[in-house]
Amino acid sequence: MAGARRATVVTYALLLALAALAWVDVLRSATAMDDMAGMEMAMAPSLSEGVVFVVAWTVMMAAMMLPSASPMIALYAATHRNAPSPVVRAVAVTHFTLVYVALWAATGIPIYLVTVVLGALGRLALAYGIAVALIVAGGFQFSPLKRVCLRHCRSPLGFLLGRWRPGWRGALSMGWAHAVYCLGCCWALMLVLVVAGAMGLVWVLLIAAVVTAEKLLPGGERVAWVSGVVLVLLGLAVALRPEIAMMLRAGPRSM
């Protein structure tokens, strides 16, 4: 038991340190964007710009998602308390975590394409697109798929018991499965972050708080339900008053 507790504490500490470093970078990037407010930043889409965007998106996802994924990863580390050596345990946990982060990083590719499309839309078309995104995301918060994915994310022990696989291939398999459930649980909120919030710092903090509350707090299912109601109502408001859309995308600069 002592070994399991030690592995859990060490894993928590490392994950939270990594998340803290990612948050430092997110806040630094937001400050840099504030300093450049008012400058013309329009650029044609390019491979280099896309790579920079995906890297920044990956750092932001690490900051937003690792805190809520920490219980799952820490419990996985505890299951390896009897590993032949600390190195073996560290490799398994690293594989599990890297697959999780890699899937969220991969979502940066379609997200970049979405931002390119959004940049080409007129103000009215963008406003109605934001309204649709908010209503769709809000409706998803009530869906059976959301409940299933959230249940797996909220139950680390049940997930590991149901999907346990040994060895490094098992680590990759379980890391992938957990990442898919996490993506299924949170994709709609990330859509709101990108489309309605333009990845502004306030929206990053707000969505990160909702994700963490859904997964970690007692009654997280109710948090998902309340956020769904708020998003649907906000989407209807934007549909009726399109100028609200520009207010949502204003404020602290985007990432």
Q: What pLDDT score does 41 carry?
A: 41
Tens digits of residue pLDDT in 16-52: 898 999 999 888 887 655 443 333 344 567 888 899 9
Whether 194 contacts 187, CB under 8 Å: no
Q: How many residues does the chain have?
A: 255
Single pTM value for the model: 0.87
- Structure tokens belonging to residue 77: 């580390």
Q: What percent of the chain has pLDDT over 70?
A: 89
- The better pLDDT of the pair 128, 3 is held by 128
Res. 250: pLDDT tops 80 = no
The pLDDT of 86-107, averaged and rounded, is: 90
Torsion of CA 62, 135, 154, 64, to 10 degrees: 10
- Residue of higher predicted confidence among 211 and 4: 211
Q: Give the per-residue pLDDT at 163.
A: 86
Whole-number pLDDT of residue 82: 73
* Average pLDDT over all residues of the chain: 88
What's the half-sphere exposure (Cβ side, CA atoms, 13 Å) at 223?
Answer: 20
pLDDT in tens, 129-163: 999 999 999 999 999 999 999 999 999 999 998 88
In tens, the pLDDT along 221-232 reads 999 999 999 999
Q: What is the pLDDT of residue 91?
A: 86
Q: In this predicted model, which residue has the larger pLDDT, 109 or 47?
A: 109
Q: Looking at residues 197-208, what average pLDDT do you find?
A: 92
Confidence at residue 42, expressed as pLDDT on a 0 to 100 scale: 42
Determine the pLDDT at residue 148: 96
Candidates 156, 211, 164; CA nearest to 183 is 211
**For every residue of the chain, which 3-state class applies, written as one string?**
CHHHHHHHHHHHHHHHHHHHHHHHHHHHHHHHHHHCCCCCCCCCCCHHHHHHHHHHHHHHHHHHHHHHHHHHHHHHHHCCCCCCCHHHHHHHHHHHHHHHHHHHHHCHHHHHHHHHHHHHCCHHHHHHHHHHHHHHHHHHCCCHHHHHHHHHHHCHHHHHHHHCCCHHHHHHHHHHHHHHHHHHHHHHHHHHHHHCCCCEHHHHHHHHHHHHHHHHCCCHHHHHHHHHHHHHHHHHHHHHCCHHHHHHCCCCCEC
Beta bridge partners of 254: 200
Rounded to an integer, the average pLDDT of 201-210 is: 94
217: pLDDT confidence band, cut at 50, 70 and 90? Answer: very high
Mean pLDDT computed over 84-102: 87
Burial of 114 by CB count in 10 Å (0-12 exposed, 13-18 middle, 19+ buried)? middle
| End-to-end CA, the chain | 43
Burial of 162: CB neighbours in 10 Å, binned 0-12, 13-18, 19+: exposed
